[in-house]
Amino acid sequence: MSDGAMAASPIQYLLHPLGFGVRVMQWGGEGPAVLFVHGLGSHAEIWAPVASALAAQGRRCFAIDLPGHGLSQKGGGFSYTAAGHSELFAALLAELGEERIDVVGSSLGGLFAAAFATRTPELVRTLTLIGSVGLQPLAPERRRWTSEYLAKMDRDSVATRLRNGVFDPAAISDSFVEEAWRMNNSRGAAESFAAIGRYYAEGINDDMQVERLAALDGRVPLLLVWGKQDVTVAYQGAVEALPRLARATLLALDDTRHIPHVERPEVVGTAIALHLDGGDVGILRGPGVEVTAQQ
């Protein structure tokens, strides 16, 4: 994420869904509400380029720090599972005064966003999953690797993981690395990451979402956004899941890895806007941009 990428400054505040402190960043004061959910080891600022652009089009965009991340509460007292996050999101909507919301989730946050949609579809207008965990079971080696790296939060390790998530490492600024490193080493963070590591090791494959999304039978329109060169969550998993999902569209981007909302914010923001409005994401087809729709 380059410095100065954010077009407009958000407001920030703390809410306490389920009694757990959650930082909220908000762009825009009017219009339909959109909830942005980041991935493992990240925080709400990762959404700034896309959220600020959507807010400029008349939406209220809420990006949160997940429990154990960013400036949200860390440590015990929370279930760091798909079920725990689904309950948190429902309580968050109640605190925000929203009856329904569009939800955008990335990586592990995509798994939690999908679980929220499949558990409480009456609360979710549309769902967008970006490089999302949860479409295919994770191999034991991958679960073990993730569980182990969550104990490695030194600055170099944080920088390496962030920059491995993009095709061009320059997309991640030194200041974003510094911020993530400090947040991920604040009081209680190690306890939170240990709990997430146990979830990866023991329970995450019980929360795969393709069958549950398919069971919605298109009630929640779905947009999948993937970098074709994603080395974290393979693009092939999205390709294989798409035929099973009604009212789903897959946007695939060349020369892009795991966080296309940072690497390609313009096309990702435009795709999400079209998706939220019920438009045809297919108009974005062009060099390096592939769109496949499943009716």
Entry pTM: 0.96
**61/53 Cα distance (integer angstroms):** 10
Q: What percentage of the chain reaches a pLDDT higher than 90?
A: 96
Residue 294 confidence class, pLDDT cut points 50, 70, 90:
confident
Interval 219-276: pLDDT, tens: 999 999 999 999 999 999 999 999 999 999 999 999 999 999 999 999 999 999 999 9
SS3 183: helix
Q: Which amino acid appears at position 243 of this protein?
A: P
| Mean pLDDT value of segment 67-87 | 97
Helix pair 48-56, 265-276: axis angle to 10 deg: 50
Residue 6 domain-assigned (yes or no)? no
pLDDT of residue 5 exceeding 80, the answer is: no
CATH number, domain with residue 250: 3.40.50.1820
Residue 130 sits in which domain range? 11-294
| Mean pLDDT value of segment 38-67 | 97
Q: Which two tokens stand for residue 243?
A: 């035929």
Residue 1 domain-assigned (yes or no)? no
* Contact (CB, 8 A) for 2 and 173: yes
Chain Cα centroid distance, residue 137: 18
**281/295 Cα distance (integer angstroms):** 13
Q: Which two tokens stand for residue 196?
A: 């997430």
Residue 3 domain-assigned (yes or no)? no
Tell me how far apart the 2 most distant CA atoms of the chain are, in Å.
Answer: 48
Count of structural domains, the chain: 1
Kindly provide the residue ranges of all beta strands, DSSP E only, lying in 191-279, ordered along the sequence.
222-227, 248-253
Quick one: pLDDT at residue 1? 39
- Compute the 3-state secondary structure of the chain and give helix, strand, coil in percent, each to the nearest 5: 45, 20, 35
pLDDT of residue 2 exceeding 60, the answer is: no
User: Residue 66: which of 173, 207, 193 has the closest Cα?
Assistant: 193
Residue 97 domain-assigned (yes or no)? yes
pLDDT of residue 215 exceeding 50, the answer is: yes
| Mean pLDDT value of segment 55-80 | 97
Residue 107 domain-assigned (yes or no)? yes
Residue 65: count other Cβ atoms within 10 Å of its Cβ. 24
Residue 28 domain-assigned (yes or no)? yes
Residue 178 domain-assigned (yes or no)? yes
